[in-house]
């Protein structure tokens, strides 16, 4: 019996690794910039009590703040990405800690600014704008501070909260180390007799196996592992809920949700519209589960059957080189400039491709202003990995365009729009593959992938959103929040979402424990809203061509945070303040479901 193991970092060819040297050629340069950032933060403290002195002083403050943001972004991204490529390297764990300390130092140095700006008389501020055209560049930033006036504390109180930053980050940091470096899943034996350890990277791949006993073995192996640590992991998340509730109360928000959505000026009705609209379409998801049960030919459909192939005899292996070509071809409707930049990025060190021992799980795109974006993958030669490449390069291209067309003040697009460009790329890729598919069986396979994309993104992320909102509400109301309460809540949501044809296994109660996004509160709903907006944009791009592309790239991708997210999307042609985009997207799901039901009769 042979044993397959993960490659170590140094065993992977450099052509499949990102080039973090493009950000800092040496670690010593990173350390030097840490010192520089610390000095700038100290200088910013010197503005305390003087922001209302003159237009020139206020302008100088904002310029210095931009300079600090430039260095801090680079420092934080580099430290984390060095750590993520091998989470067991203590040097880079220390770098992450140092970057967090610097961030807290910067927050402390700037704590006086918002309260002080809020004290500037409106007429005096208007006179500043009249005196300085340069200061007008910062008017939107100042207006955003004014919008938060009710929730901004005194300078002393803001400084105290800033000093609490490292402590407040503890639940997320502890969970990250636990989930990426400490928890170990059991070994399983595959059909060829190979002994393989289950990892975050191969978990879904195993659940996609045709071997049901293997799926069941892997499913139980993972969730039994979380069950053993369930008291510890529950306390991590409960601590996070307490943090959020504390900050919401201190800042005089009605709830943690109000607090988190206010950052992007997102109406809470958008969140509620999403959940209500998804609930209205749950019968369609239940129909899909009934069809999955029928096609698998099982007496009871189990949670470990969700990724099992229900269409046979199709190519499901794609090398990384094949994936790059396929993604570039599928995105040709985006225009020559977009595609040429995309190709250059995929060939010039933007991407860290393969899983290695202790590498951070999952995938993301992350960059710092002034350098190209970076993409972390754990590529696994399957169709999901192809779509992940398209998805993360959508993020990267959004970052690229925003950085190219906005100053550092407004380049960072807000979370609400963060998943639109990525999912639009996925939608265009699916359209291309379906259009160029000649084999009927392969077409059915792609339709299942498309339907599962809706299930795992629009439906599942709405389920995540519902879970964390209920958990936060319970904490806010002073109701008991324990491991058992959270497990029961997650179990019941699975029953509700997957319907009567799904046998919801007891082990699924522990699934919420492996979701890192819960430590970035009120984030996941934006996967669902973003997916809906992306379906709308991809439809416009395919139907209207260049005018829609120009509007999408020019008004949206290049927009950064130069406008409120709802207005930014509206300017590009999609109004997310209404339930319509979500409803329209779910109608697309139902249309494809009908086609698939007909094709499999």
Cα 73 from chain centre:
17
- Which phi and psi (to 5°) does residue 351 adopt? -115, 135
Could you say which of 73, 116, 355, 392 is catalytic? 392
Q: What letter does residue 556 receive in the DSSP assignment?
A: I
DSSP character string of 104-133: HHHHHHHTTHHHHHHTS-HHHHHHHHHH-H
Alpha helices in 148-211 (DSSP H): 155-163, 165-168, 170-177, 200-207
Q: For 257-293, b where at least 16 C-beta lie within 10 A, e where not — what string?
A: bebbbbebbbeeebbebbbebbeebbebbbbbbbbbb
- Contact (CB, 8 A) for 158 and 114: yes
As a 3-state breakdown, the chain gives helix, strand, coil percent values, each rounded to 5, of 70, 5, 25
Torsion of CA 312, 315, 318, 323, to 10 degrees: -100
Instruction: Identify the helix (H) or strand (E) that includes residue 458.
Output: none
DSSP character string of 345-358: HHHTT-EE-S--TT
How far apart CA 67 and CA 578 sit, in angstroms, is: 38
* Planar angle of CA 398, 393, 323, nearest 5 degrees: 155
Residue 258's nearest CA partner among 150, 169, 153 is 150
How far apart CA 594 and CA 436 sit, in angstroms, is: 21
Instruction: Give, in order, the Cα–Cα distances in Å from 345 to each of 66, 101, 392, 557, 577.
Output: 26, 32, 12, 17, 34
In sequence order, the 6+-apart residues with CB closer than 8 A to the CB of 367 are 77, 373, 374, 396, 399, 400, 403
- Contact (CB, 8 A) for 77 and 367: yes
Looking at the DSSP bridge assignments, the partners of residue 503 are: 302
Torsion of CA 419, 394, 593, 326, to 10 degrees: -170
543 included as an active-site residue: no
The structure tokens listed for 595 are 């086609």
Residue 436: is it exposed, middle or buried by C-beta count within 10 angstroms (0-12/13-18/19+)?
A: exposed
Catalytic residues: 392
């Amino acid at each position: 019996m042979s044993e397959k193991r993960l490659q170590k970092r140094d065993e992977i060819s450099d052509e499949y690794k990102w080039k973090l040297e493009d950000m800092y050629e040496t670690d010593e340069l990173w350390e030097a910039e840490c010192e520089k950032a610390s000095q700038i933060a100290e200088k910013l403290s010197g503005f305390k009590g003087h922001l209302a002195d003159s237009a020139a002083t206020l302008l100088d403050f904002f310029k210095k703040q931009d300079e600090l943001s430039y260095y801090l972004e680079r420092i934080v991204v580099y430290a984390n990405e060095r750590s993520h490529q091998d989470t067991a390297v203590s040097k880079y764990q220390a770098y992450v800690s140092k970057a967090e300390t610097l961030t807290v130092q910067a927050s402390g140095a700037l704590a006086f600014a918002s309260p002080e700006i809020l004290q500037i008389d409106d007429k005096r501020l208007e006179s500043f704008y009249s005196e300085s055209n340069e200061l007008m560049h910062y008017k939107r930033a100042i207006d955003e501070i004014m919008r938060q006036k009710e929730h901004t504390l005194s300078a002393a109180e803001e400084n105290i909260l800033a000093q609490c930053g490292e402590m407040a980050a503890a639940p997320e940091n502890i969970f990250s180390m636990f989930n990426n470096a400490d928890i170990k899943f059991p070994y399983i034996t595959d059909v060829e007799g190979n002994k393989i350890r289950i990892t975050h990277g191969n978990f879904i791949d195993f659940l996609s196996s045709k071997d049901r006993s293997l799926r069941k073995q892997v499913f139980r192996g993972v969730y039994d592992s979380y069950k053993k640590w369930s008291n510890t992991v529950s306390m991590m998340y409960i601590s996070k809920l307490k943090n959020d509730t504390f900050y919401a109360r201190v800042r005089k928000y009605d709830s943690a949700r109000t607090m988190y959505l206010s950052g992007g000026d997102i109406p809470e009705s958008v969140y509620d519209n999403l959940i209500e609209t998804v609930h209205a379409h749950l019968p369609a998801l239940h129909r899909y589960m009934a069809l999955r049960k029928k096609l698998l030919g099982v007496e009871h459909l189990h949670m470990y059957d969700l990724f099992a192939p229900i269409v046979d005899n199709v190519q499901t292996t794609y090398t990384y080189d094949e994936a790059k070509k396929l993604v570039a071809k599928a995105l040709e409707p985006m225009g020559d400039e977009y595609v040429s930049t995309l190709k250059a990025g995929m060939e010039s060190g933007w991407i860290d491709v393969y899983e290695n021992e202790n590498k951070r799980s999952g995938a993301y795109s992350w960059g710092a202003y002034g350098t190209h974006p970076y993409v972390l993958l754990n590529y696994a030669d399957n169709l999901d990995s192809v779509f992940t490449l398209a998805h993360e390069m959508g993020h990267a291209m959004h970052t690229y365009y925003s950085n190219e067309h906005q100053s550092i003040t407004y380049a960072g697009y807000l979370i609400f729009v963060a998943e639109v460009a990525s999912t639009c790329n996925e939608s265009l890729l699916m359209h291309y593959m379906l259009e160029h598919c000649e084999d009927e069986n392969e077409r059915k396979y792609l339709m299942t992938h498309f339907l599962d994309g809706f299930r795992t993104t629009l439906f599942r992320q709405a389920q995540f959103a519902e879970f964390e909102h209920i958990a936060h509400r319970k904490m806010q109301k002073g109701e008991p929040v324990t491991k058992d309460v959270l497990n029961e809540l997650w179990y019941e949501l699975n029953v509700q979402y997957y319907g009567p044809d799904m046998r919801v296994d007891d082990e699924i109660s522990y699934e919420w424990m492996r979701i890192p996004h819960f430590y970035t509160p009120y984030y996941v709903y934006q996967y669902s809203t973003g997916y809906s907006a992306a379906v709308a944009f991809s439809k416009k791009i395919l139907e209207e061509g260049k005018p829609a592309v120009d509007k999408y790239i020019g008004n949206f991708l290049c927009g950064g945070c130069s406008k409120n997210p709802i207005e930014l999307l509206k300017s590009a042609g999609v109004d997310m303040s209404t339930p319509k985009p979500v409803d329209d997207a779910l109608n697309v799901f139902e249309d494809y479901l009908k086609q698939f039901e007909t094709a499999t009769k």
